[in-house]
Amino acid sequence: MSLFHLIIQEMQHRKLNFLLGLLSVVVAVACLIAALTLLQADEIQTELILEKKSEEVKQAGAQLEDAMRKITKGLGFNILILPADEDLSEFHLTGIVEKSMPEENVKKLAESKIVTVNHLLPMVAKKVTWPEKDCEVILTGTRGEVPQLHRALKKPLQQQVPEGTMVLGYQIQKKLGLKSGDEVKLMGKPFKVTLTYPERGNADDSTVWINLKQAQELLGMQNLVNAILALECNCATEDRVAEIRKDVGEILPGTQIIERGPPALARAEARNKAHATAVASLEQEKANRIQLIERHADFAAVLVPLVVLGCGAWIGFLSLENVRRRATEIGILRAIGLRSSQVFGIFIIKAVLIGLIGALLGYFLGYGIGVAWGKLPEAIHPQEVLFSGRWLLLSLVFAPLLASLASWIPALMAARQDPATILQEG
């Protein structure tokens, strides 16, 4: 006969009390373990999603590059229409058009029935010193696209720069420390910076774009333009530049035509933009997942302590009820010589046993819930990756500890009961 035997016999006798106590521990441990397992499943799922997304971005980038190569091969190209007297070799060396031609040329071209050129953009461009900033820039004036009258209206490829506004290339904005919304003066005229471009790695980085009319005034080139840019030109023949030269030459005799902006550059820009979009989407997904995990963690941080406290209180109540029901038994055990520490031990050992059994059952219940609701793909063997020996061990340590803490006061009350009072009443 031992105390342990007595405790086991009592647990078998008062099954309901034992089962209710056990249920409390199982619920508390299962709740905690399910929360932890689900959070772990969330993290694993996030890693998997991000890994998959990253792979998709890589593949999509490669596909996009290939598609762009094929598409741009068949699509239009950009040309620059230059004044008849422009020295092309000088232009190729400096990138600046020295000569000019009447702005009227744009109108002529727009009113013609030419089909090989599209999206006409008249422009002036000169290398000047920005006096207020003491800085050399390429000042470019542009008025946006000139509509071609015999065509259906097309969506413009490039927006015009409104009067009083300014767009800056990368090096200029970096050098002068300017940003969108800043107000500056250029050659005495006020401008508001509306846009700054990212680095392009060409002359655009050192360019300041303003409205064409204002640029003509500042540069003393009223009704003159340096060049007409035509975007997305189409040609049926292989020698596309020659074909366009022929067509444009009939309308603007003597003007010179060169191709501008090789397709490779456009492809690279498109690819970079697609890549940047994909990376942004990847980051967004990551942020969303982190937010989801944090929401789950916050919910668990509230729910789990509440459940554990509730179950602890319930175990305490059950222990108290158990002590009350066993008052006569405690009295007789004390009368036959059991020490108060032994009576205390009877209740604490029982709580520890309930805690141990409850922890074991609760762990596997919580783990099962975590595996079922974690929705991890079978391929990664969720049963294995979500099983944690450490949590099982911690459950086996802390559940008996909490159960015995919850039973501490009832056990003390039992140990301090006066056997004489009980036996007199009994």
Partner 1 sequence: MLLELKAITKSFKSGSHRVQAVDGISLSVDAGEFVAIQGPSGCGKSTLLLIVGGLLRPDAGQVLIEDTDPYVLSNDKRARFRSTHLGFVFQQFHLVPYLSVLDNVLAPALATRLPESRRRAEDLIEKFGLEQRLQHTPAELSTGEKQRVALARALFHSPKILLADEPTGNLDAENSEIVLNVLSEFAGNGGCVLMVSHDDQAVQSAQRVLGIDAGRLLPRSEKEALINS
> Which of residues 119, 143, 334, 350 is near partner 1 by CB under 8 A?
334
> Which of residues 153, 341, 384, 390 is near partner 1 by CB under 8 A?
341
Closest approach of Cβ 342 to partner 1, in Å?
A: 7
> Taking Cα atoms as reference points, which of 256, 408, 391, 278 lies closest to residue 344?
408
Q: Which residues pair with 126 in a beta bridge?
A: 139
From CA 335, how far away is CA 326, in angstroms rounded? 14
348 binds partner 1 (CB under 8 A): no
155 binds partner 1 (CB under 8 A): no
21 binds partner 1 (CB under 8 A): no
338 binds partner 1 (CB under 8 A): yes
Closest approach of Cβ 19 to partner 1, in Å?
A: 15
The site for partner 1, by CB under 8 A, has a size of 29
Q: Cα–Cα distances in Å, from 280 out to 37, 184, 271, 292?
A: 30, 33, 14, 18
Closest approach of Cβ 359 to partner 1, in Å?
A: 25
- Single-letter code of the amino acid located at 103: E
181 binds partner 1 (CB under 8 A): no
From CA 398, how far away is CA 401, in angstroms rounded? 5
9 binds partner 1 (CB under 8 A): yes
Q: Report residue 176 as tokens.
A: 């002068």
* H-only helix segments in 326-379: 327-335, 340-374
Q: Which is nearer to partner 1, 13 or 92 (CB)?
A: 13
332 binds partner 1 (CB under 8 A): yes
> Taking Cα atoms as reference points, which of 213, 212, 184, 214 lies closest to residue 196?
184
CA atoms within 13 A on the CB side of 396: 8
- Single-letter code of the amino acid located at 308: V
2 binds partner 1 (CB under 8 A): yes
339 binds partner 1 (CB under 8 A): yes
Candidates 7-15, 82-90, 107-115, 389-397: pick the segment binding partner 1 (CB under 8 A): 7-15
Q: Which is nearer to partner 1, 196 or 342 (CB)?
A: 342
Backbone CA torsion sign across 70, 72, 73, 74? positive
Chain positions contacting partner 1, by CB under 8 A? 1-3, 5-6, 9-10, 12-14, 328-329, 331-342, 419-420, 423-424, 426
